[in-house]
Amino acid sequence: MSVYAVQKLIRDVNRRPDCRETWFQSREEFMSRYDLTPAEAKALEDLDIGSLYKMGVHGLLLRPFTIIHQVPEPDYLNAIRS
């Protein structure tokens, strides 16, 4: 499993308003553009911060992604520490 596709998706959602809009309209359709494993797709769909972090998603990508999803900082920190 390579985390490259996950990080690319997250980067696109973080940095590109058109991608962010598509992501919030239809995650499934947006994820189909990337070569994700089923586990990666599930973690993204569920916004499973702990799993994404354990997969190796860099914090400088993950935290802005969670901010976009209105995840409070204490919840983010608990997820990556557990």
With bands split at pLDDT 50, 70 and 90, how would you rate the model's confidence at 2?
confident
What is the homologous superfamily of the domain 4-81 according to CATH?
A: Dioxygenase LigAB, LigA subunit (1.10.700.10)
pLDDT of residue 1: 56
CA–CA separation, 50 vs 56, rounded Å? 10
Residues 1, 52: contact at Cβ < 8 Å?
no
20-57 residue pLDDT tens: 999 999 999 999 999 999 999 999 999 999 999 999 99
Q: Which residue, 23, 21, 45, 48, is CA-closest to 33?
A: 23
Q: Average per-residue pLDDT in the chain?
A: 96
CA–CA separation, 15 vs 49, rounded Å? 19
pLDDT of residue 33: 96
Contacts of 5 (CB under 8 A, 6+ apart): 34, 35, 36, 40
Average pLDDT over residues 54-73: 97
